[in-house]
């Protein structure tokens, strides 16, 4: 998921993906067992168990909702299942709403109606099914869960949906402009929402795991409390060792803007790869982990290792999932282009030559055009010359890196890319003020690539945060969000709007 999509999704998202959860009520023990099987990584087994329960008691709302969550996850891998999910969740909401309408004290229907509205809101956001409908669903969820909690303040699971709404709608303006003022969304409460999610994690049953996964991201990304994030991640990993989702979330925390430790992120992906490789049949999680590891390697400027990982899977040419080979080809083509490899466009053209990969053709066409434009501008050659030096800087071999940057600068005097890399190294070495002074002229240099201007603004904003200049920092982060929304740096800028940057 891209940073932009993720930023939208979390605002009204219900991420179904804790150690020591409270026992389920006797009436829901069998549903709880289905959830636990799902969280242990056996989605097919959980679905089979839940379908058996539903066959025994048709229409049973807790079972139907659990099955909806599994189907929702499947739509991310298979867009053909979207119509089925939409039909089922619309029917579920209609049934729950009818029950609530018949009896104002039907607590089960009220609880699941609120959660279903939030699930549909998340789906509509992340699958681009209409932002306005999604926001309305979020507001309906908030009103419904508020009414439920007033009657049942003791129900730990109820605080998951309530905390999700309250926390994320409060930080939402950093991700989605103008939504609350235009649509009159109920106000959120960031601090209160965090406490509600903590309560759902410690006191919930069916949704304890879900709350833990949310807290893992919140602590590690938005609250600047990575130690607490890792603590919860380790608890969840111990409770569900066969579920790769925990390692994926931990990896995102480590690689995210609050921590930026790409070696630790790589270690999480490597754990998943070892576990998934031992299975008799490869699952999508293996290839997700490989792509994550490629991302971690490139962030450490270990280009050769990243391309080797991609090439091994491309050569194996797995038939399932069908997105793997074309996705890996385009990723390798991107890295080859950045490295100045003349073969870069060949990977995109392989994708274009295969009719069964038609969904990837638009991206492949755009990649070929980007490669050709980059080569013609000369930007690519300078970027490639900087790659080995960037790796020295990532390894904190400062003197060698400085000498390498000087060599490139002699060939390309005053080049914006070289100037930015020097400023970035200065910031990494601890001289935030000096780095900001070096980066500031680049923020308005029209000869600089857009990514250089955006990254330079991030250095300035973070230096302002470190100097205690919070309001100027927020204005600088906002400039990045407003002017460079399509650049990868927009994500850490949005996080910077929410939480001041601190060195780790």
pLDDT at 1: 39
| pLDDT tops 70 at residue 46 | yes
pLDDT at 459: 98
For 136-190, the pLDDT digits (tens) are: 999 999 999 999 999 999 999 999 999 999 999 888 878 776 565 556 678 889 9
* 113 confidence band (pLDDT: 50, 70, 90): very high
Q: Give the whole-angstrom CA distance, residue 314 versus residue 22.
A: 45
CB 140 within 8 A of CB 161: no
Q: What percentage of the chain has pLDDT greater than the value 90? A: 78
For 416-456, the pLDDT digits (tens) are: 999 999 999 999 999 999 999 999 999 999 999 999 999 99
CB atoms under 10 Å from CB of 188, counted, come to: 20
Q: What is the largest CA-CA distance in the chain?
A: 79
* 8 confidence band (pLDDT: 50, 70, 90): very low
Lowest mean pLDDT among 238-252, 382-396, 421-435, 457-471: 238-252
pLDDT at 214: 95
| pLDDT tops 60 at residue 354 | yes
The residue among 73, 80, 116, 83 whose CA lies nearest residue 97 is 116
CB 69 within 8 A of CB 39: no
Q: Give the whole-angstrom CA distance, residue 488 versus residue 366.
A: 17
CB 204 within 8 A of CB 37: no
Average pLDDT over residues 283-288: 94
| pLDDT tops 50 at residue 352 | yes
pLDDT at 131: 82
Residue that the structure tokens 């049949």 belong to = 281
Q: Give the whole-angstrom CA distance, residue 92 versus residue 162.
A: 20
pLDDT at 78: 83
For 74-94, the pLDDT digits (tens) are: 998 888 899 999 999 999 999
Average pLDDT over residues 398-421: 95
**CA trace torsion 93, 94, 96, 100 (10° rounding):** 130
Residue that the structure tokens 């070495």 belong to = 429
The residue among 7, 5, 11, 1 whose CA lies nearest residue 493 is 7
Please report the DSSP string for 189-201 in residue order. Answer: -HHHHHHHHHHHH
Q: Give the whole-angstrom CA distance, residue 309 versus residue 473.
A: 39
Average pLDDT over residues 21-33: 65
Tokens encoding 313: 């899977």
């Amino acid at each position: 998921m891209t940073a932009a999509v993720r930023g939208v999704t979390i605002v009204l998202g219900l991420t179904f993906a804790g150690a020591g959860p409270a026992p389920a009520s006797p009436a829901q023990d069998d549903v709880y067992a289905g959830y636990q099987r799902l969280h242990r990584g056996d989605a097919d087994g959980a679905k089979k168990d839940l379908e058996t329960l539903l066959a025994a008691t048709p229409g049973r709302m807790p079972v139907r909702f659990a099955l909806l969550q599994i189907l929702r996850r499947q739509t991310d891998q298979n867009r053909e299942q979207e119509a089925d999910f939409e039909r089922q969740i619309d029917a579920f909401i209609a049934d729950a709403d009818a029950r609530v309408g018949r009896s104002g004290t039907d607590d089960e229907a009220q609880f699941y109606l609120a959660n279903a509205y939030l699930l549909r809101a998340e789906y509509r956001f992340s699958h681009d099914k209409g932002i306005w409908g999604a926001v309305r669903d979020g507001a309906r969820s908030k009103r419904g869960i508020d009414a439920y909690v007033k009657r049942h303040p003791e129900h730990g699971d109820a605080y998951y949906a309530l905390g999700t709404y309250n926390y994320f709608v409060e930080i939402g303006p950093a991700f989605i402009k103008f939504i609350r003022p235009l649509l009159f969304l109920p106000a959120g409460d960031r601090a209160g929402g965090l406490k509600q999610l903590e309560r759902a994690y410690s006191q919930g049953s069916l949704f304890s795991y879900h709350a833990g996964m949310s807290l893992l991201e919140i602590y590690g990304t938005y609250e600047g409390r990575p130690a607490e994030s890792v603590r919860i991640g380790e608890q969840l990993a111990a409770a569900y060792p066969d579920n790769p989702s925990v390692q994926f979330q931990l990896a995102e925390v480590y690689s995210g803007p609050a921590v930026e430790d790409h070696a630790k992120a790589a270690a999480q992906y490597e754990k998943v790869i070892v576990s998934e490789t031992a299975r008799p049949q490869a699952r999508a999680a293996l290839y997700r982990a490989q792509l994550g590891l490629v991302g971690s390697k490139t962030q450490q400027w270990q280009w050769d290792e990243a391309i080797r990982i991609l090439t091994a899977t491309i050569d194996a040419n797995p038939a399932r999932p069908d997105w793997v080979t074309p996705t890996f080809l385009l990723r390798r083509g991107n890295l080859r282009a950045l490295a100045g490899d003349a073969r870069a466009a060949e990977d995109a053209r392989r994708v274009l030559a295969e009719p069964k990969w038609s969904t990837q053709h638009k991206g492949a066409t755009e990649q070929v055009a980007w490669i050709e434009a980059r080569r013609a501008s000369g930007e690519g050659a300078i970027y490639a010359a900087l790659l080995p030096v960037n790796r020295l800087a990532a390894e904190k071999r400062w003197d060698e890196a400085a000498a390498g940057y000087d060599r490139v600068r002699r060939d390309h005097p005053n080049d914006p890319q070289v100037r930015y890399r020097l400023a970035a190294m200065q910031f990494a070495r601890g001289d935030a003020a000096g780095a900001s002074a070096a980066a500031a002229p680049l923020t308005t240099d029209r000869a600089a690539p857009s990514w250089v201007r955006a990254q330079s603004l991030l250095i300035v904003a973070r230096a302002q945060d470190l100097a205690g200049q919070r309001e100027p920092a927020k204005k600088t982060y906002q400039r990045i969000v407003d002017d460079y929304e399509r650049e990868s740096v927009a994500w850490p800028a949005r996080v910077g709007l929410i939480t001041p940057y601190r060195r780790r």
